[in-house]
Amino acid sequence: MSDISIHKISENVWEIPQTGGMRVPARVFASDALLEKIREDATLTQLRNATHLPGIHKYALALPDAHQGYGFPVGGVAALDAEHGVISPGAIGYDINCGVRVCKTNLCYDDLKGKEQQLVDLLFSQVPTGIGRGSIVGTLSEKELDQVATRGVRWAVEKGHGVENDLLHCEDEGFRPGADPRCVSNDAKGRGRGQLGSLGSGNHFLEVQRVSEIFDDEIAKQYGLFENQVVFTIHCGSRGYGHQICTDYLRIVEHEHRDLIKQLPDRELACAPANSKAGQGYYKAMNCAINFAWCNRQLIMHHTRICFEQVFRAPWEKLGMELLYDVAHNIGKREVHKINGVEKEVYVHRKGATRSFPAGRQELPRAYRHVGQPVIIPGSMGTGTYVLKGTQTALDLTFGSTAHGAGRMFSRAKARKQWRAEDITRDLKANGIYVLGQSKATIAEEAPGAYKDLDEVVRVSHELGIGMRVAKMTPVCNIKG
């Protein structure tokens, strides 16, 4: 239990005052109940440590789903000056652009009833899951992999794994500029070549869901959502490719900027000046992993469309299988934010945090620039997923960010000791949820009870105004690594 002094400054807003070597205060956006869970691990210590990063603006912040991570808490956000600040690989995360996308259909829940087992079996047989190799497109050549890294979703579309409209419904339209494969090691490329189009393991999943509740009729209509609609959600990232990039640059940064790192309270916050060779090398390599991850989710989505065609005996286009949106979680972006009344360029580090931009922001895809960005917040395999809308309040309070999920309460090791996979799958099936996974351990690790209350996380985000509730989806079929 953390004994760090933290003060309530308004409803759902807490602050760790600036003391000692802290360059700014730290803020936590959470209810009393969520803060109690956050206090149970090292989240507050890691958040306070992050305030020592050079060039940090306003405050380091933790969102309602925050929990302990590597150096920087998952559910953490920091804006670091683009000229005088630093870039920290650990404050972005190992699974670069771990993210979520939702694909709509025109099917109703009644259309799916009786086909659940057939669908989950087919998805599990067709979408690679689990640790190690596995790819929808086979092993890529290095040239092909570099094209994925620089072109993102467009590479998949040009190869026939999607349509132009998919690009228009993805964060950054599925492409991050500034990617340079020359900054990516052979080790990372070796890991990535055979993993494009795969879920991986851990908390990654492909889940078929039904829209169980609509909170905002007007926005839901603009997003193309309706009650009892069948949708599916994909949660995965850049696989071994992104993990190795983070590993590589942590070593490079630790070697080249030892004196800077010695000034920090935790070496896991290892960082490099934003404009240094190491800092820019990491940023270019990270953008490669961002594009890889978007392409990865695109391939899985399009392959899932083909599975739906087989089960429902109709072309996916006639089934209305259009991408709603794709959001990134572990990501660093150079953005412009108003800080103390002045617009500044900053590198926003979002680790286990979702961008939440309002209507009018030029960064949004054209499809949503007039209404505001869809925000996707998944929970555990037993609870479902929320769709929210980005807001101006998020820009003002959280550098345009909100929660990314329910957030863990139990480590994977503790979860394995407390729950049995057989019990979980039986109980979920009794509630109409069909789950398949590569291993019993993974299912036990991802037990619904291992996570915070998703409804509470979303309630706090909504009441703070950093993401407004639009709809909730509940699970029907789920495959995991």
- Which residues form the catalytic set? 404
Q: What's phi and psi for 189, nearest 5 deg?
A: -65, -40
User: Which residue, 384, 370, 186, 179, is CA-closest to 285?
Assistant: 179
User: 325 forms bridges with which residues in the sheet?
Assistant: 102
Distance CA 425, CA 443 (A): 8
User: Which residue, 107, 226, 236, 204, is CA-closest to 472?
Assistant: 226
Q: List, as own/partner pairs, every contact residues 117-122 make where C-beta atoms lie below 8 angstroms and the sequence separation is at least 24, other chains included.
A: 117/434, 118/311, 119/208, 119/307, 119/308, 119/311, 119/477, 120/208, 120/434, 120/435, 120/436, 120/477, 120/478, 120/479, 121/436, 122/307, 122/310, 122/311
User: Which residue, 166, 461, 105, 117, is CA-closest to 325?
Assistant: 166
User: 385 forms bridges with which residues in the sheet?
Assistant: 378, 473
Distance CA 326, CA 99 (A): 7
Residue pair 444/169 in contact by the 8 Å Cβ criterion: no
Q: Which two tokens stand for residue 464?
A: 């703070």
Residue pair 207/109 in contact by the 8 Å Cβ criterion: no
